[in-house]
Amino acid sequence: MNAATALDAWNVSAADFPHTGASWEKLRFLLRYAVLAPSRHNSQPWLFKLRGSEVELYADRTRAARVSDPEDRELIISCGAALCHLMISMQHFAYLGSVEILPDSGDSGLLARVRLGLKGEHSSEENLTFHAILKRRSNRQAFSDDPVPEDLLEALQSGAEQEGAWFHVLRSAAARYTLADIIAEADRIQWADRRFRLELAAWLRPVQSGSVDGIPAYAHGMSDVLSCTGPVIVRTFNVGEGQAAKDRDIAAHSPVLAVLGTDADTLRDWLAAGQALARVLLRARAAEVWASFLNQPIELPHMRQRLPHVIGRPGFPQLILRLGFGTDVKPTPRRPVEEVLI
């Protein structure tokens, strides 16, 4: 597969929905939107099994990041985001689907069972969220100074709460700069760990790569020539100081710096965080607002414990996001549905 066809998964049109097809055909089509969800290192750690009018979501732990995500917390969050994409897509086509979370206590890999349900109605707001799926990607570029509207931030908070999570915007300059310093500190710690660098390098892809997963170099603004040496540099050299300075500046000067979290820290909460993440990102994109992640402190347990005090909000931080207006970026590759079906 070449670099162009690696993006084929994004070429999906609602006009092609099989309205007269069988239930499994409809669900298979809806999975084309589910696989466009965000994931750590673009690892896409999800699998699906079709069973008539039902589809099961499984965690693909062969795609785990054992160094930065040893408990599979971010892996499960990614699966939760894919689940939310699936539900939003189902509702767009007016199906009153239902979802059962963790339906089998004996199978830790089975995360959810979704039923297509009967035809119903859909709202205009859900339509906007659905159409944002094809516009959403992580934007790692600097954002403009234009402020994000307050009513949108309130909508993002409501969207997270709808899924059983919270979305906390850091309002004070002191809190923002403190969190930016912690992000930089976490960068230095992670990059000093050679195991972390090896894990990251394994997911980096040259610009012209035909891979359908991982992080293509253009997502970091790298040229094709430089992208070929990028993994070698990452594996070999500790560039933590430079990365720390860059991320601190980005965090401190982004229009919005926010933490998405939950009141507990169980497998069910991680799934809820993923669903909330997807809803927040899609609602933001519907308003032309971009987002990207600065999760480094949350990936270090001793630093994660400091965050509730820093942000002034109890609970369990799951993700750190920056949001703002910026220029368009290319999507990253996705595995086609055929590759994620059991």
Query: The pTM is what?
Result: 0.95
Range of weakest confidence among 17-21, 143-147, 205-209: 205-209
Residue 38 and residue 160 share a domain: no
pLDDT for position 123: 65
Q: Does the pLDDT at position 63 exceed 90?
A: yes
pLDDT digits (tens, 9 = 90+) for 247-270: 999 999 999 999 999 999 999 999
Instruction: Domain count for the chain, please give it.
Output: 2
pLDDT digits (tens, 9 = 90+) for 96-115: 889 999 998 788 899 999 99
CATH code for position 180: 3.40.109.10
Q: Tell me, yes or no, whether 221 lies in a domain.
A: no
Residue 307 and residue 165 share a domain: yes
Q: Tell me, yes or no, whether 123 lies in a domain.
A: yes
Residue 266 and residue 173 share a domain: yes
Residue 268 and residue 156 share a domain: yes
pLDDT digits (tens, 9 = 90+) for 275-323: 999 999 999 999 999 999 999 999 999 999 999 999 999 999 999 999 9
Residue 178 and residue 35 share a domain: no
d(CA 151, CA 154): 5
pLDDT for position 150: 98
Q: Tell me, yes or no, whether 201 lies in a domain.
A: no
Q: Tell me, yes or no, whether 130 lies in a domain.
A: yes
Residue 51 and residue 28 share a domain: yes
